[in-house]
Amino acid sequence: MSKIVVCGGGGFIGGHLVMDLLRQGHTDIRSVDIKPFDEWYQRAPKVENLQLDLSEKEACEKALAGAHTVYNLAADMGGMGFIENNRALCMLSVLINTHLCMAAKKHNVQRFFYASSACVYAADKQTDPNVTALKESDAYPAMPEDGYGWEKLFSERMCRHFREDFGLNTRVARYHNVYGPNGTYEGGREKAPAAICRKVIQAKLSGKHEIEIWGDGHQTRSFMYIDDCLKGTQAILASNILEPINLGSSELVSINQLVDIVEGIAGIKLKRSYNLKAPKGVNGRNSDNTLIRKYLNWEPNVKLRDGLEKTYRWIYDEMTKKK
């Protein structure tokens, strides 16, 4: 029952991870985030909650004091609209992982998890909506998403070299579009599943049965439900997998198909308009899960419609409460 520190614990994935660790019976948990407590997505009273700016070296040393296991989920990020318009802010997250690695080395942390992203993959592998699923080696030669992707790829290397040079036991997972309840669904940082749920709900509540879609709707992605993300993250940290590994669903859908599913959940059909000037990212991205099946005999298994239904219901309740 050694101390577990969740960095970014006030965020979407971090909040769910803290709650999951509590359900498993862990009692010595520290949750750290830069946001004021009233802005945390989930906050558990039985946990040591700290508000710290983890881009600062001293804050990282305070956060990791006495830690056995560290999950680094902290980053300044959001959906495509945010990362395409805030590249410098995304790059500055390199300070978080750098100072956390230094603090982990200083405090003799036994296990260190870094949450990377599918945005590390080379752009020339993602030009076609009918994309070949991305395998781990497709990150090199490097041509990642400008800003956010470069920071993630650099931080992956930082973890590797701290392991090789200093013996810090690091594990890295490349997340592919994590979604679910208790996350961002408005304000500019939300990702596609939450944004589409919000837009469909707005159309239903307002009676104006129209929806704007960013891009032409043919761009493709895979989306991983939060429960699968939590299971995969903890399995990877406990494993002997040294190289960065995909953690994502292989269920490929277009954005138009994503809208179809949410419309089906809502019981509504909307008139679609396409904003071709809006940020839309690469044309196609999917997760090749060959390695995670080989190493762990496991891959995410929550079907997209099932996860979206839970997400839609939560966002609907939140939006109607506000009204």
The set of catalytic residues is 148
CA–CA separation, 229 and 304 (whole Å): 13
Let me know if 22 is exposed, middle or buried by CB neighbors in 10 A (0-12, 13-18, 19+): middle
Nearest CA among 81, 268, 67 for reference residue 192: 81
Q: Is residue 223 left, alpha or beta, with left meaning phi > 0 and alpha meaning psi from -120 to 50?
A: beta
259 in Cβ contact with 272 (< 8 Å)? yes
Q: How many alpha carbons fall within 13 Å on the CB side of residue 253?
A: 21
* Burial letters 132-167, b for 16+ CB under 10 A, else e: ebbebebbeeebbbebbbbbbbbbbebbbebbeeee
- Report residue 8 as tokens: 């970014």
Task: Output helix, strand, coil percentages for the chain, rounded to the nearest 5.
Answer: 45, 15, 40
